[in-house]
Amino acid sequence: MTHGPGMNGLILDEPLLWEKGKKGRCGFSMVEQDVPEANLDNLENLLGDGPDFPDLSEIDVVRHYTRLSTWNFGVDTGMYPLGSCTMKYNPKINEKMAAMPGITTSHPLLEDKLSQGTLQIMFELQKFLAHITGMDAVSLQPAAGAQGELTGMQIFAAWFRKKGEKRNKILIPDTAHGTNPASAALCGFKPVAIKSGADGTLDVKVVTELMDEETVGIMLTNPNTLGLFEESIRDVTTIVHEKGGLVYCDGANMNAVMGVVDFKRCGIDVMHLNLHKTFSTPHGGGGPGAGPVCVVDQLKNFLPVPRVKHEKGRYYLEYDHPDSIGRLHAFFGNFGVLVRAYSYILSMGAGNLKKASQLAVLNANYVREAFRDVLHLAYDKPCMHECVFSDKMQHKYKVTTLDMAKRLIDHGYHPPTIYFPLVVPGAIMIEPTETENRDDLDQFVAVFKDVVREAKENSERLREAPTRTKLRRLDETRAARKPCLIG
């Protein structure tokens, strides 16, 4: 390739602020004080020495943070083809709504009568999410997907405790999300792994063999982490229910099925949603998230409190639910994320939410077909939101998935997810999302094909990549075994 998103441009170096500072520099001028000085000797003794901040001018500070910002790569910079973690462009109108003064200055300790607007947003968002999933009741409390999983498992535990049943196992497919076993274990359930079938989906016979009276149910991801829809979902949920169990669905991949799949009709009892993946909110880098939990009617009394209710023209928080698993954290977590999701749903409408999922699936299958001749396709069947390849065809050139991912960085692309899911050796998982147009997809495909061609013609270059970045390839083994944790 002679051109690409990151083929040329400045790579700015930047020292630490402590290295830039010089005594006497100042970023602002203080007005002359008009109050008498106070004796603070005792206070200084209590506080000790102040922080060693460097002396900097205004231009030092502005240039420092501007240069650092040029090192960032975000979805506003270019395509994020990360599989399993939807990283799509988010319309700025939703950011604007979340930044409105009435939203950002509302205090969580205000009385209900002074918080009618914010409570209405939450109440209506609950209704929207219930309608989108087909479920009966929703809690907005969980502040992230993993906390949503934990909430679901707490509901499982509370349900069986209420029934007086002691069950200690849970089935988890090898195509479920990686945090699922940990969430189940925290609630006292022993994860029982289920190996997926030859087609990458659940084998009904295996589920039948493993589901018994000691098992609380199953914790699956649908679409799963191979980007495939669990076509036998109704058979699986029927088997679990016949043994008295419950079905949990990790809804992190909801971006593929909005307005398409009714999860209650599929037999799902509890599911969580990642608003920071599907519903237009920031994602990545440990930023804010939200993981609302949706349940069927028989489990609604176990949802966390408080819950937003509407009665006689008034919105209020309700706490009186004896069977509730309780409060998950103070207030309602990352409220701005809820506002962004609410704005996204209103601006899109039912038709466009469904269209977004259809386009996400279309783009993923477009990429799948584009690479089928140059990358090994792990499961040769139509996918949902993401497709999974491997480096099997590059083994003869002694080129690995990691080598190709590093070389993509030289071309200005963030690498796709690699070596996950674990069921595919040398996995390369790509999710283009619905927000990428065909021109951008074609450019990405062309660049990746050029990298694959290099694997055959100049494999040494790939093993040295990246070469155009500020830092070259790092010793990842050493970083994992002897991490530097002092900053």
Residue 76: its pLDDT value, please? 86
Predicted TM-score (pTM) of the model is: 0.90
Alpha-carbon dihedral sign for residues 238, 242, 245, 246: positive
Closest by CA to 455, choosing from 413, 392, 378, 377, is: 392
Burial class (CB in 10 A: 0-12, 13-18, 19+), 71: exposed
Q: Which CATH class is domain 350-480?
A: alpha beta
311/290 Cα distance (integer angstroms): 26
Burial class (CB in 10 A: 0-12, 13-18, 19+), 286: exposed
Is the backbone peptide bond immediately before 421 cis, with ω within 30 degrees of 0?
A: yes
190/182 Cα distance (integer angstroms): 10
34/195 Cα distance (integer angstroms): 75
189/198 Cα distance (integer angstroms): 28
Closest by CA to 165, choosing from 217, 124, 118, is: 217
Torsion of CA 394, 395, 400, 403, to 10 degrees: -50
Domain ranges for the chain, please list them.
93-348, 350-480
Radius of gyration of the chain (CA): 26
DSSP 448: H
- Walking along the chain (487 residues) 10 residues at a time, the average pLDDT comes out as 60 84 85 81 69 88 90 86 90 95 92 96 97 97 93 97 96 92 95 95 97 97 96 98 97 95 98 94 75 97 95 94 93 90 97 98 98 96 97 97 96 94 96 96 97 96 90 85 76
Residues contacting 154, CB < 8 A, separation 6+: 187, 302, 325
For the record, the structure tokens of 282 come out as 């920031």
408/76 Cα distance (integer angstroms): 18
The DSSP string of 120-170 is HHHHHHHHHHHHHHT-SEEE----SHHHHHHHHHHHHHHHHHHHT----EE
In 222-279, DSSP assigns E strands to 246-251, 270-273
Q: Is there a shared CATH topology between the 93-348 domain and the 350-480 domain?
A: no
Instruction: Give domain 93-348's CATH number out of 3.40.640.10, 1.10.3720.10, 1.10.3430.10, 3.40.47.10.
Output: 3.40.640.10
DSSP 363: H
167/240 Cα distance (integer angstroms): 13
Residue 24: its pLDDT value, please? 87
Yes or no: say if 364 and 84 are a contact pair by the CB < 8 Å rule.
no
The residue assigned the tokens 């930023």 is 287
Residues contacting 405, CB < 8 A, separation 6+: 415, 416, 418, 428
